[in-house]
Structure 1
Amino acid sequence: MSELQELIRHGEGERLEFKKKTTHPTRIARTLASLANTHGGRVLVGVDDDGRIVGVRDAEEEMYVLRLAAEQYIDPPIPLNFKEVEEEGRTVLIVTVRESTHKPHRAQVAEGDWRGYVRVRDESVQTSGLTEKVMERQQPQQFEKLPLNRHELAVLDYLRKHPRITLAQYMRLGNLGKRRAYQTLIKLTLHGYIRHHDKEKEPYYTL
């Protein structure tokens, strides 16, 4: 099994994204920034969402759009590594993004509108100012890990099985009052165990 087939077999996830093609720098910039802000990963350009290899028409054009996104639509810019592979008579571009040591990276979604993103499972999700502040002061894998009590461990266990948790859900899960539940979630956020998202009607937390 080739490297490409092995990647496709695992499917999309926190560190892997399939793209049929790159249509505009603003769209792909969110994905690239989210990977750099999380644990790094790869983008397979020329692979459809269902894992079908469709190939790219012009690899140079795809790389141009990707470089443009990484250098001009992400702040601070991020480096990319490219690898062209041939599979089933089609060309696929493997784009590697390393986890950054200069977080947070923000992607431009419109003129003057820059937003931070992180990977949550197989999605690029807009993050909060609190999570960005945590990223600013922490280098990859350098979070201060603290001993956790059973209520804190319950949050992590829940998030391993579910994509997100809200304050209300955690209050029910732990049978906790609002103040204590909120303090626990913020503590876990500040120490890098979970991420806080506040761009929807109800804020939520993810791994």
Structure 2
Amino acid sequence: MDYAKLERTLSLGDVQRLADIGEGQFIEFKRRVPDARRLAKEVVAFANSNGGHVLIGVNDAGNVVGLRDAHEEIYALSEALESHCYPRVHYTLERVEIAKRREVVVIKVPESEGKPHYVIEPDEPMRRTAYVRVRDMSIEASREARRLMRTGTDSNVKFEFGDKELLLMRYLDEYQRITVAQFARLADIPSKRASHTLVLLTRAELLQLHPDPAGDYFTLARNRAA
């Protein structure tokens, strides 16, 4: 458990407050321990985004019901995450007693400095999928999202601002958002080049990428739009 720490810092009141907030960008509920791949998907999505908590022993309605003999699940949880997450994700596990022999297991996942992380199949390590957190969902990360995870942003990134970039900015001034496919059609360029341009302008902090279940889109960066 090199990548997991077992802590006891949360109280029942803390768990109840998290449950009261409800599922969303930073919180996921599980009534019972899910299968390894499903659990890895939630943890990877939080690590690739802004971090979050997985509460095991809380149902979809936000009721804190707990697990019986949760200590038996800790080892299996750790093994599942370490075998299905690549690179391995740093996280903490906490057991919070809510009644005699009933506990909630809280997995706290910080935003990772080593993203993107992927969910893998132990027997097929080349089959891997990255996920990100969007509201109360963990969705597959797009090619553009993965590229930005690897490179990050830098306002000093150099690029050539030509006619197609000017066309893009005018479009965003009028319509606020654009997808890779829309930009490719607008500028009459291949999708690969459209993707590269949008990612480059996002790296330069002129645009902002918004992952979305219906398809990622780009907007002007908040500081520029203001």
User: Is the TM value for this pair above 0.5?
Assistant: yes
Please say if residues 131 and 189 of structure 1, whose CA atoms lie closer than 8 Å, have aligned partners that are also in contact.
no
2:54 is the counterpart of 1:43? yes
Deviations 1:69-126 (A, max 9, x none): 3211100001221121123553111111111110100002584221000001111100
Percent sequence identity is 33
Could you tell me which residue of structure 2 aligns to residue 100 of structure 1? 112
Aligned length, in residue pairs: 184
2:154 is the counterpart of 1:144? yes
Could you tell me which residue of structure 2 aligns to residue 52 of structure 1? 63
CA distance in 1, matches of 2:180, 2:144: 16
TM-score normalised per structure 1: 0.73
2:209 is the counterpart of 1:194? yes
Could you tell me which residue of structure 2 aligns to residue 7 of structure 1? 18
Larger Cα Rg: Structure 1 or Structure 2? 2
Please say if residues 80 and 95 of structure 1, whose CA atoms lie closer than 8 Å, have aligned partners that are also in contact.
yes
Could you tell me which residue of structure 2 aligns to residue 162 of structure 1? none
3-state SS of 1:178 partner: helix
CA distance in 2, matches of 1:78, 1:108: 13
2:134 is the counterpart of 1:120? yes
TM-score normalised per structure 2: 0.67
3-state SS of 1:194 partner: strand
CA distance in 1, matches of 2:23, 2:199: 29
CA distance in 2, matches of 1:154, 1:206: 8
Could you tell me which residue of structure 1 aligns to residue 159 of structure 2? none
List alignment gaps of at least 5 residues for structure 2. Answer: 1-11, 157-168, 189-193, 220-226
List alignment gaps of at least 5 residues for structure 1. Answer: 156-164, 172-176
Specify whether residues 20 and 196 from structure 1 end up closer, same or farther in structure 2 by C-alpha distance, changes over 3 A only: closer
Please say if residues 93 and 106 of structure 2, whose CA atoms lie closer than 8 Å, have aligned partners that are also in contact.
yes
Q: Which residue among 61, 64, 70 is the counterpart of 2:75? A: 64
Specify whether residues 206 and 53 from structure 1 end up closer, same or farther in structure 2 by C-alpha distance, changes over 3 A only: farther
After TM superposition, the structure 1 stretch with the greater mean CA deviation from structure 2, 52-61 or 113-122, is 52-61
